[in-house]
Structure 1
Amino acid sequence: MVYIKCRDVVAKISDIIDHEANLMTRMRFYGHIMMCKNCRRYFDQFKEVHALAGKVTADDLPPDFEQVMGAVMDEIEGHKDA
């Protein structure tokens, strides 16, 4: 079996969480996190954040959320042109 590196774990983590990874990718991913405590910790934290994010609704957001996010996006776009 071909082993994956830590950076591959980071790249594939969303596919794993969303059940979109193929069997070989899953086997390599889980094989790696069994051996790598740092990636295992990262995966556990990612799963927690993903679960919490799934519970947030529009009603949970502050009233000025769209305005603040618009300003953030404008700032990001401004830096891309620089």
Structure 2
Amino acid sequence: MEEPLRDDLRRRTWELLQPGDIDLDGLIVYTDLDQEPEMHQFTVEIGDLIAEHAGFEPGETFVYSGTDDPEFASNQHQGLTLDDA
């Protein structure tokens, strides 16, 4: 990815994590993974860490992986608690 595009994506992603109408726990992770199984496993592990940091048991959360935005890969995720389902 070209540096200006990467910088823009980094800035826009960071803006999504800033305080707003809802509390959000998240982080930005850069990897060089190119295989879907590795990416999936890494995402699950990161989701568990975010859940623990937010005060939830990892088994009480799940990750929704949307592919409805052409600017993101298959790992565009939104973590939800089971109460949100």
Q: 1 or 2 for the larger relative contact order (CA 8 Å, sep ≥6)?
A: 1
Would the TM-score normalized by the shorter structure come out above 0.5? Answer: no
In which range does the TM-score fall when normalised by the shorter chain?
Answer: under 0.3
Higher-Rg structure is: 1
Between Structure 1 and Structure 2, the one with more helix by share is 1
Between Structure 1 and Structure 2, the one with more strand by share is 2
TM-score of the pair, normalised by structure 1: 0.28
TM-score of the pair, normalised by structure 2: 0.27
